[in-house]
Amino acid sequence: MKFLTNEWLNAAELDFKSANQLLQDESLTSVVTFHCQQTIEKLKNRCVQIKRGCLELLRQPLFIVFKSGLFY
């Protein structure tokens, strides 16, 4: 089943929030890295679905991407 574009964004935001929470424990660095990678993959999938140039957005820090509202 193909995710809708907003579902990709919601899933990416959950991964990003999870990474921020897990960042408090230094022993979970690999899990934080995984969630960050998943966030980027999901943002990339949304970019592909909406067919517009999002490469510049993906080069920005993730918190700027979410706070900007550009994906909503």
Q: What is residue 58's predicted lDDT score, i.e. its pLDDT?
A: 60
**pTM recorded for the entire structure:** 0.65
26: containing domain: 5-68
Q: Domains in the chain: how many in total?
A: 1
Q: Which residues contact 16 (CB under 8 A, 6 or more apart)?
A: 35, 36, 39, 62, 63, 66
- Ordered per-residue pLDDT tens for the chain, 72 residues: 455 677 888 898 999 999 989 989 989 999 999 999 999 888 887 777 766 556 556 665 665 656 655 444
